[in-house]
């Protein structure tokens, strides 16, 4: 099994969320045990201090929108929104 740092797991978890794939499909594509992926994800979520979650932004080329997901909330923004503004917006949600 390949050993990964906490930062690498966080990046993989964010990549999976942005990919639109289920965790099982994402893990299969990346050669990761999906049960272990789930355990690492839960462990990282438990370590995150309350009130400091993370937000994920994904650009949809088919609808020309940017979807920002924070918790159970999805916010759609026009793709023409300046990248710096979107970055600040996502940081404010995290």
| 64 and 84, same domain (yes or no) | yes
- Asked whether residue 42 falls in the same domain as residue 63, the answer is no
Split at pLDDT 50, 70, 90, the class of 90 is confident
Per-residue pLDDT of 7-58, as tens digits, reads: 888 888 888 888 888 899 999 999 999 999 999 988 887 776 555 456 666 6
- Domain containing 31 equals 6-47
Q: Is residue 1 in a domain?
A: no
Question: Can you point out the beta strands (E) in the chain?
Answer: 55-60, 65-70, 73-78
| pLDDT value of position 28 | 94
- Rounded to whole angstroms, the Cα distance separating 68 from 77 reads 8
Q: What is the pTM of this model?
A: 0.51
């Amino acid at each position: 099994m390949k050993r990964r740092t906490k930062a690498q797991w966080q990046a993989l978890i964010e990549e999976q969320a942005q990919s639109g794939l289920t965790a099982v499909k994402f893990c299969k594509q990346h050669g990761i045990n999906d049960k272990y992926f789930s355990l690492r994800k839960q462990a990282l979520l438990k370590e995150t201090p309350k009130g400091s979650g993370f937000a994920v932004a994904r650009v949809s080329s088919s609808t020309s929108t940017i979807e920002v997901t924070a918790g159970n909330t999805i916010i759609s923004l026009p793709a023409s929104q300046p990248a710096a503004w979107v970055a600040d917006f996502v940081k404010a949600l995290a």
